[in-house]
């Protein structure tokens, strides 16, 4: 019991410290924030350096895993966060949109020979469309029904791709073209626009650019009327509807935006991968991205990014554990949820909800704020 108290104490001190940092950040003038943003982007661009690579990833090529899985997971998690973290819709089939994007790149690139940038636009459009197609019949369903339907949709996409011989069947598609290169541009000894097969770094820079654009857009949406509508839907859909929020339309919007982000990542990934096949789009990927979102702190962008990074990087870093790394990964997920159910970096709102006992997304059914659980929270405040 004593140990539990000190643990609780530590948690609260940590979260108070976090709040302190947050408050200071909110008071920071705009220009200082821009400096921090710029530094972060520079930091992201410098990441694939060999000097940290040997420590960050002793078993695999650091620049390669920065693109996949780390960067890819980060962008996918940002997309899923719009659906799960902001609009509060449980999507277990996010991988479907990633697959649609990947197949769009592979099919259009090999059959029609279009330029990568054009396909990126088309792919985003296609994914938004498929998000709406999936959403239209299903978004009227409530939470858990939506979960199984999205899960089913993810599987349908994968199985259909596998069973359709005209798009390669189980063999998938080979010889996917790369983005157009400018091999002459050289910066610090790196040909940053040479999209070949050997150097993953140009793709990584492209991914960083994509991530930055996505983050800016998502952040703007979050602060706008749309973001507030999503929050209202997440907290209490009926109340939102009564207050005049067109919930169905906003849920569709969240789905379409999430799908587009997943699709954009799919296009970019396929443009590097050379070949894709339906097995690249398993349910486990949906589950992993969802775990990243929740583990980082659903609804809070830095948290989600951190979550995706951790989920993608840890298994690569600890390849030395060989077989046991997935076992440990599973145990870590459970432990994290037990000790920090709100995620590593929750939004302050989420934390408040948790203390209230509602915890966002709706609490577990038979959770009665009994004397023991509630008392503890109050006493430790």
Partner 1 sequence: MLNDFVNQFWPATIDGLAFGSIYALIALGYTMVYGVLRLINFAHSEVFMIGTFGAMFVPFALGVSEPLTGLALVGVILLMIVAGTLASAGTAVALEQIAYRPLRKRGASRLAALISAIGASIFLQELFALLVIPNVFNRPEKGRIQMGLPRLMEKSELFSIFGHSVRVDQVLVIVAAVGMMIALDALVNRTKIGRGIRATAQNPEAAVLMGVDINKIVRMTFLIGGGMAGVAGALYLISYENTYYYIGFLFGIKAFTAAVLGGIGNLRGALVGGVALGLVENYGAIFAGSDWKHVISFSILVLVLMFRPTGILGESLQQARA
Partner 2 sequence: MRPKTARLGGVLAAGVALTLGLAACGNGGSEDKPSGGDPSAAAPAGGTVKIGFMGDLTGPSAGIVIPPWNGANLVINEYNKTNPPVKIELVKYDSQGDASKAVALAQQAIKNDKIVGLIGPAFSGESAQVAPVLEEAEIPSITASATNTKLAENGWKFWHRLLPNDSVQGPGVADFIAGAAGAKNVFVIDDKSEYGKPLADAVRTQLGTKGVKLTNDSLDPSESDFSSVVNKVAAAKPDAVFFGGYYAAGGNLLKQLRDKGVKDAKFFSGDGSLDKGLIESAGKDNAEGALIGCPCYLATPDVTDAKVKGFAEAYKAAFNADPAIYAAEGYDAATVFTEAVKAGNTTTDKINEFLKTIDLAGVSKQVKFAENGEVEAKDIYIYQVKDGAITLLGKATEAKLG
- 26 part of the interface to partner 2, by CB under 8 A: yes
331: tokens are 């145990």
- 348 part of the interface to partner 2, by CB under 8 A: yes
**Using CB under 8 A, which residues numbered 91 to 150 contact partner 2?**
none
143: tokens are 């939470």
Q: Render 45-114 in DSSP notation, one character per residue.
A: HHTT-HHHHHHH-SSS-HHHHIIIIIIHHHHHHHHHHIIIIIS----S-THHHHHHHHHHHHHIIIII--
Give the integer Cα–Cα distance in Å for 196 and 199.
6
Contact pick of 237, 280, 316, 342 for partner 1 (by CB under 8 A): 342
What phi and psi, each to the nearest 5 degrees, are found at residue 189?
75, 5
Output 135 or 307, the one with its CB closest to partner 2. Answer: 307
Output 141 or 178, the one with its CB closest to partner 2. Answer: 178
- 169 part of the interface to partner 2, by CB under 8 A: yes
Contact pick of 25, 34, 37, 145 for partner 1 (by CB under 8 A): 145
Contact pick of 68, 73, 250, 255 for partner 2 (by CB under 8 A): 68
| 123, 101 Cβ separation under 8 angstroms | yes
- 331 part of the interface to partner 1, by CB under 8 A: yes
Contact pick of 80, 240, 292, 310 for partner 2 (by CB under 8 A): 310
Q: Render 190-210 in DSSP notation, one character per residue.
A: B-TT---SS--HHHHHHHHHH
- Collect all residues with Cβ–Cβ distance below 8 Å to 181 and sequence separation of at least 6: 193, 194, 195, 196, 202
Kindly list the distances between the CA atom of residue 329 and the CA atoms of 80, 281, 310, 356, in Å, as whole numbers in the listed order.
21, 20, 10, 30
The entry of partner 2, partner 1, none near residue 145 (CB within 5 to 8 angstroms by kind) is partner 1
What phi and psi, each to the nearest 5 degrees, are found at residue 66?
-65, -35
Output 47 or 134, the one with its CB closest to partner 1. Answer: 134
Give the integer Cα–Cα distance in Å for 267 and 127.
10
How open is the CA angle 291-297-303, to the nearest 5 degrees?
Answer: 105
| 117, 187 Cβ separation under 8 angstroms | no
Q: How far is the CB of 34 from partner 2 (least distance, A)?
A: 12
User: What b/e sequence results for 104-114 when a residue is b if at least 16 CB atoms lie within 10 Å of its CB, and e otherwise?
Assistant: bbbbbbeeeeb
Output 60 or 380, the one with its CB closest to partner 2. Answer: 60
Contact pick of 220, 326, 348, 375 for partner 1 (by CB under 8 A): 326
Helix axes 201-223, 301-317, angle to 10 degrees: 150
Task: Give the x/- contact pattern for partner 1 in 152-191, rule: CB under 8 A.
Answer: xx-xx--xx-xx----------------------------
Output 110 or 355, the one with its CB closest to partner 1. Answer: 355
- 197 part of the interface to partner 2, by CB under 8 A: yes
Interaction site with partner 2 (CB under 8 A): 18, 21-22, 24-26, 33, 36, 40, 54-55, 58-61, 63-65, 68-69, 162-163, 169-172, 174-175, 196-198, 200, 219, 222-223, 273-275, 277, 279-280, 300-303, 305-306, 310, 316-320, 322-323, 344-345, 347-349
Interaction site with partner 1 (CB under 8 A): 84, 90, 137-138, 140-142, 144-145, 147-149, 151-153, 155-156, 159-160, 162-163, 283, 287, 290-291, 294-295, 298, 323-324, 326-327, 329-334, 336-338, 341-343, 353-354, 356-370, 372-373, 377
């Amino acid at each position: 019991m004593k140990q539990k108290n000190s643990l609780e104490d530590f948690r609260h001190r940590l979260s108070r410290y976090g709040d302190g940092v947050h408050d200071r950040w909110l008071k920071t003038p705009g220009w200082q924030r821009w400096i921090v943003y710029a530094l972060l982007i520079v930091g992201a661009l410098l990441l694939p350096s060999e000097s940290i690579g040997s420590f960050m990833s002793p078993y695999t090529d650091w620049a390669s895993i920065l693109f996949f899985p780390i960067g890819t997971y980060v962008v996918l998690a940002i997309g899923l966060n719009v659906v799960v973290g902001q609009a509060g819709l449980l999507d277990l089939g996010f991988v479907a949109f990633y697959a649609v994007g990947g197949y769009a790149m592979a099919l259009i690139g090999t059959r029609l020979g279009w330029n990568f940038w054009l396909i990126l636009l088309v792919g985003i459009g296609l994914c938004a469309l498929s998000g709406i197609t999936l959403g239209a019949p299903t978004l009227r369903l409530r939470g858990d029904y939506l979960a199984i339907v999205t899960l089913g949709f993810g599987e349908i996409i994968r199985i259909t791709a596998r069973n359709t011989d005209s798009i390669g069947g189980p063999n998938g598609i080979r010889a996917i073209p790369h983005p157009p290169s400018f091999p002459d541009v050289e910066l610090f000894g790196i040909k940053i626009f040479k999209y070949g097969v050997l150097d993953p770094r140009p793709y990584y820079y492209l991914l960083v650019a994509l991530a930055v654009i996505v983050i800016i857009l998502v952040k703007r949406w979050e602060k706008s009327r749309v973001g507030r509508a999503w929050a209202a839907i997440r907290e209490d859909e009926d109340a939102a509807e009564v207050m005049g929020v067109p919930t169905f339309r906003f849920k569709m919007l969240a789905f379409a935006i999430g799908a587009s982000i997943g699709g954009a990542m799919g296009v970019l990934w396929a443009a590097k991968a050379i070949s894709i096949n339906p097995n690249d789009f398993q349910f486990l990927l949906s589950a992993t991205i969802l775990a990243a979102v929740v583990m980082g702190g659903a609804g809070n962008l830095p948290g989600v990014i951190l979550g995706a990074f951790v989920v993608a990087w840890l298994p690569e870093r600890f390849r030395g554990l060989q077989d046991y790394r997935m076992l440990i990964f599973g145990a870590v997920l459970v432990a994290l949820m037990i000790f920090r159910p709100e995620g590593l970096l929750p939004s302050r709102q989420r934390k408040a909800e948790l203390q209230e006992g509602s915890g966002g997304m709706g609490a577990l059914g038979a959770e009665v704020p009994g004397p023991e659980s509630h008392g503890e929270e109050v006493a430790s405040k």
